[in-house]
Amino acid sequence: MQLGTPVITSTKGSTPEVAGDAALMVDPYDVPAIAGAIRRFEADADLRDHYAQAGTAQAAKFSNAAYDARLADLYRKFA
């Protein structure tokens, strides 16, 4: 995501929470769904661009600067 690459990820574990709306999500055990997601990206440049941009924005939420800001806000609440 951080590199601006459209992402296909799993519906399992914490990846839906981390990816948000910035990735195509598929059941990791559903091979046709995985193949379908790959085909969707292959066939639709606008879709690839959308998820590439959304992914970059989503990844920025997890940058060191964003983490530092959230941590500083938390410390201020308890200071």
pTM confidence score: 0.79
DSSP single-letter state for residue 26 = E
Mean pLDDT calculated for residue range 50-79: 92
**Computed from CA positions of residues 58, 56, 28, 35, in that sequence, does the dihedral angle turn out positive or negative?**
positive
Tens of pLDDT along 41-53? 999 999 999 999 9
Domain positions in the chain: 8-78
Tens of pLDDT along 26-42? 999 999 999 999 999 99
Mean pLDDT calculated for residue range 58-76: 91
Q: Do you know the residue count of the chain?
A: 79
Mean pLDDT of all residues in the chain?
A: 95
